[in-house]
């Protein structure tokens, strides 16, 4: 019979869990950081996340209003061209 160590884990098991989801879709089991909704691995650590005013996400302009409108126009033009080709056949 092994005695093992008796650890007091009641505080950790009673703490709030991280609200993030893992890649497999299951909830993260790590405890959330104090005063935050995420664990240290999912953005609860100090100074985690993108810096203020980060422009890295706007590098190519694909999701600007102009870019979206241009793709919609091209899509409608292609639909009209396909309709015309189908009518000519």
Six token digits for residue 3: 């005695």
Parse the chain into domains and list their residue ranges.
Answer: 14-46, 60-89
Interval 51-89: pLDDT, tens: 777 676 666 778 888 989 999 999 999 999 999 999 998
pLDDT score at 72: 97
pLDDT score at 81: 96
Q: Three-class SS of residue 13?
A: helix
pLDDT score at 10: 76
pLDDT score at 4: 58
Q: Three-class SS of residue 51?
A: coil
Given a cut of 70, whether residue 49 has pLDDT beyond it is: no
Interval 1-41: pLDDT, tens: 455 567 777 777 788 888 888 888 898 988 888 888 888 88
CA distance 16 to 32: 6
Q: Are 32 and 39 in contact (CB under 8 A)?
A: yes
pLDDT score at 61: 76
Q: Can you list the alpha helix ranges (DSSP code H) found in 1-89?
A: 10-14, 65-88
Six token digits for residue 9: 């884990």
Q: Are 27 and 17 in contact (CB under 8 A)?
A: yes
């Amino acid at each position: 019979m092994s005695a093992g160590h008796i650890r007091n884990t009641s505080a950790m098991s009673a703490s709030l869990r991280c609200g993030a989801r893992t890649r497999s879709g299951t909830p993260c089991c790590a405890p959330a950081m104090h005063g935050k909704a995420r664990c240290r691995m999912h953005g609860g650590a100090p100074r985690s996340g993108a810096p203020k005013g980060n422009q890295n996400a706007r590098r190519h302009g694909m999701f600007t209003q102009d870019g979206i409108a241009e793709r919609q126009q091209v899509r409608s033009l292609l639909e009209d061209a396909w309709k015309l080709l189908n009518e000519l056949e």
